[in-house]
Amino acid sequence: MADDRPYHHGDLRATLLRAAVEVIAESGAAALSMREVTRRAGVSHAAATYHFGDKRGLLTAIAVDGYRALHAELAAAERERRSFLEVGVAYVRFALSHPAYFDVMFQPHLHEVADVELREAKRSTAAVLYGIDDGAPTNVAAGVAAWSLVHGLATLWANGNLPAQLGEDPEAVTRAVAAHLRVPRASTRT
Amino acid sequence: MADDRPYHHGDLRATLLRAAVEVIAESGAAALSMREVTRRAGVSHAAATYHFGDKRGLLTAIAVDGYRALHAELAAAERERRSFLEVGVAYVRFALSHPAYFDVMFQPHLHEVADVELREAKRSTAAVLYGIDDGAPTNVAAGVAAWSLVHGLATLWANGNLPAQLGEDPEAVTRAVAAHLRVPRASTRT
DNA sequence: TGTACATCAGTGAACGCGCGTTCACTGATGTAC
DNA sequence: TGTACATCAGTGAACGCGCGTTCACTGATGTAC
């Protein structure tokens, strides 16, 4: 029935990206292959090379999507709730609900480092992570502390390295754990 | 000149482990191959299978070594300095000076989960990470907060994801960053 | 001290496989006039 | 409205490669008597 599929797919680039994210979520970025991605998308195995140049190009495109999505989530959390803590919760939520993006994003050796879109996407995400206080120069060590904590928590959780007694709700755990962070007063203000 | 090498190596298991750690430190656990390891050790490519059963067995042996080494470092830091902070510094130091161990240790999907030695090595390391206060039941959330912070910091640092303005001394950065952690009073006592 | 035998440690050829990339190609669509 | 041509999007065969694992083997060492 699907054999009336036209020669031109129409949206193949996006379809390939979705398939790749699926594969990575299941088996990790290391296990990604161009062949598997095209197989899932139901196209010839050379199609991915046409769209992304090579494997690194595909992974770079995924990283760009990931940074943009994370940026959007963090910015929304900051805007809506103006709370330092809730930005951290949003970070952990993103990491756990988009493991494929998270996996690829923080392994720069998989990326085309020179890629302009990637650099810009990373830059604006970092701005939200550091510049929590709307332009006011934030204490960098405090920002790194907060980022490290949520990043480490998300990573340890995702890999199943945390004790079971913490329960099953990562957002609740994030709030409990992040309570041990001493943040600059200005950041918790409403 | 090395061709008077005897048929029996004498210490091949340890040599293979060292070679594997070398490869992983250079290219990551994903890039490890049994062939490359034996090539570096200068033996036939089937030798590694003889010693470890299969690739997963080799990676599991590396994880065991890693957990034991980390446990030793953390226990020493705790014993010598009795400071919560310095255990964290030791953790980061270990992660950055043994990237191969660190990489393999926290990717459980690479391990033989049922391996008895691995379970025991993980268990005793976790005990030091949580039970900082010599047997006194510690606040779990506080322990996870500290662990997450140093784990995240080490990970982000190792992958080059932290801003350059932090400088080049990871131990100093750890102390500055960990200062934002609110730890239970008992733990910082001398 | 000698000898037979078992076990251990490592070899090297062979297997089948999936991979990334290239290349000449073809089918479909867009554009100029 | 028609036609010629350029460009775009995707195909499928072919390449060479490194991999993990198996297997029958051999060389060296240990053990029993």
pLDDT digits (tens, 9 = 90+) for B121-151: 999 999 888 765 444 456 889 999 999 999 9
Report how far apart, in Å, the C-alpha atoms of A14 and of each of A94, A104, A121, B45 are.
Answer: 20, 17, 18, 42
* pLDDT at residue A22 greater than cutoff 90: yes
pLDDT of B135 reads 44
pLDDT of B183 reads 75
pLDDT digits (tens, 9 = 90+) for B158-176: 999 998 889 999 999 999 9
Report chain B's mean pLDDT, rounded to a whole number: 90
Percent of residues, chain B, with pLDDT higher than 70: 90
- Calpha distance B64→B51 (Å, rounded): 15
- Calpha distance A54→B28 (Å, rounded): 20
Q: How many CA atoms lie within 13 A of A165 on its CB side?
A: 6
Measured between beta carbons, the chain B residues lying within 8 angstroms of A130 are 163
pLDDT of B160 reads 92
Any strand C atom closer than 7 Å to B30 CB: no
User: pTM of the predicted model, to two decimals?
Assistant: 0.92
pLDDT of A103 reads 98
Of A149, B6, A66, the closest CA to residue A74 belongs to A66
Rounded mean pLDDT of A169-190? 79
The per-residue DSSP string of A76-135 comes to: HHHHHH--HHHHHHHHHHHHHH-HHHHHHHT-GGGS-TT-HHHHHHHHHHHHHHH-TTTT
Chain C bases closer than 7 angstroms to a protein Cβ:
9-14, 18-24, 27-29
Any strand C atom closer than 7 Å to A30 CB: no
pLDDT of B130 reads 75
- Token pair for A84: 């330092």
- Token pair for A62: 């995924």
